[in-house]
């Protein structure tokens, strides 16, 4: 039974368009989304409303992995992303829904995330920890100002 919900909020020193892109670019997702101790692989990404994605997180120490994927429900460039998630593991049933809202503020972008329908087997506090680790990596990716080389 899916019961958990987490809400996260960050202000990042980056434009909304860059953060939005980081949620829809397969290479970016593989870099920032896996929490500490995991690597990530994007197997499929069709970033359009109705499009699907498939990804896996691999435990770096054990090599064990879990696969998940879903469908994009709403995409408003630089403003909002809504997608579903489901695990391939039958022990983690149900469908999660993630909503990300971007709001331009004086110093960058206010990012609000809600993930609901988290399977009962996953402690909500572990989701918070994982998201917090991922958001640190997201900030490192999108806040960097790297000029184009020669």
What DSSP string describes 18-63? HHHHHHH-HHHHHHHSSPTTEEEEEEEE--STT-EEEEEEEETTT-
Residue 91's pLDDT is what? 81
> Could you read off the pLDDT of 6-52 as tens digits, one per residue?
999 999 999 999 999 999 999 999 999 999 999 999 999 999 999 99
- The encoded tokens of residue 5 equal 């919900």
Report domain extents, the chain: 2-143
> Could you read off the pLDDT of 74-94 as tens digits, one per residue?
999 999 999 999 988 888 888
Q: How confident is the model at residue 2 (pLDDT cuts 50, 70, 90)?
A: low
> Could you read off the pLDDT of 120-133 as tens digits, one per residue?
888 899 999 999 99
> Could you read off the pLDDT of 102-119 as tens digits, one per residue?
999 999 999 999 999 998
The total number of residues written for the chain in this structure = 150
Q: What CATH number should be reported for the domain whose range is 2-143? A: 3.30.530.20
């Amino acid at each position: 039974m899916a019961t958990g919900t987490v809400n996260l909020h960050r202000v990042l020193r980056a434009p909304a368009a860059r953060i939005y892109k980081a949620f829809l670019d397969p290479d970016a997702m593989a870099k920032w989304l896996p929490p500490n101790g995991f690597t990530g692989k994007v197997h499929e990404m069709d970033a359009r409303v109705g499009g699907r994605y498939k990804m896996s997180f691999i435990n770096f120490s054990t090599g064990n992995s879990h696969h998940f994927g879903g469908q994009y429900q709403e995409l408003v460039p630089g403003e909002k992303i809504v997608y579903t998630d489901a695990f391939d593991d039958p022990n983690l049933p149900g469908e999660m829904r993630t909503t990300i809202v971007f709001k331009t503020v004086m110093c960058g972008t206010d990012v609000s995330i809600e993930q609901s329908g988290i399977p009962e087997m996953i402690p909500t506090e572990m989701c918070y920890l994982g998201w917090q680790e991922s958001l640190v990596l997201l900030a490192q990716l999108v806040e960097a100002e790297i000029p184009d080389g020669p």
